[in-house]
Amino acid sequence: MKLVLLPRAGLAPVHAALEALGPAPTADAIGAIAVADRWMGDGARLIEAGGRLAAALRAAWDRAGHPGGAVEARRVIAGRQLYGIDPERAAVTAARRAITAWAGHPPVFVDHAIRRGDARWIFTPAQLAAFDVAADARPRAALADRLAAGHAAHRARRAAVLSLALADPGAASAALERADAAVDVPRVIGDVLAGCIDDAGRPDNAERLRRQALVERWLGAADARAEAELRALQAALRRARATFHWMTEFSELYPDAPTGAP
């Protein structure tokens, strides 16, 4: 997919992505665009962006003699091509309801792509593999291998969610639970790393190294006490922050992420 990240205001990148496809893009080309909003709020901008994509998709169908109408186009876009996060639970609930209502009947499943998260706490897989937020930190082999395996399993399970989003929301919800389980280890690593950084972005390197040792004991020696401490640290952090490891959670948008590419 071609990922289009929305800026804090406006839809310029969406317009540019559509224009880059030429005057008569195919439905497949339009379907390869994913729009993501890291400051989603109630979902209004995602719906506006989705409207642009849906109009282009319907026009492509018309050119190809496809019978799909406006409602079908909105359902396809809502279920497969709109992504967003917000740190407030109420905003996430509102956005899910708004996008589902915009898509029309029958409803689509959007919980896999409209999630609770704070854009200030997004780490790349390379940072998780290094257990360090420094841009030039070198990945640790053991962590990189575990993260890559989880990422691959997650991406495969997310494909099942996407295939069910339009046809069977109940089955898509169950598939999402299975997909989320595949990134349990990356989530723990990301959360305990985030806990080494204060709200002003200042890292506590001594605490980071202590936690890194716990992670290595957990993964390398199956140390139950280390795991218990890490999960307690994770639970405490999640009570205070809406961490969301964007490139891991939305793995279908970053198929090459395990290599450490940003």
pLDDT tens-digit series, residues 50-74: 999 999 999 999 999 998 899 999 9
The Cα–Cα gap between 219 and 130 comes to 14
Non-local CB neighbours of 175 within 8 Å, separated by 6+ positions: 157, 160, 161, 164
Greater pLDDT, 237 or 148: 237
Is 8 in contact with 39 (CB distance < 8 Å)?
yes
Query: 125-183, pLDDT tens digit by residue?
Result: 888 889 998 878 888 888 888 888 888 899 999 999 999 999 999 999 999 999 999 99
Question: Residue 181 and residue 245: Cα distance in Å, rounded?
Answer: 14
- Residue that has been written with the tokens 């395996």 in this structure: 149
Q: What is the pLDDT of residues 173-227, one digit of tens each?
A: 999 999 999 999 999 999 999 999 988 888 899 999 999 999 999 998 899 999 9
Helix (H, G, I), strand (E, B) or coil at 5: strand
**In the structure encoding, which two tokens stand for residue 42, read together?**
């109630």
**What number is the average pLDDT over the span 68-91?**
95
Cβ neighbours of residue 125 closer than 8 Å, sequence gap 6 or more: 147, 148, 151, 186, 247, 248, 254, 257, 258, 260
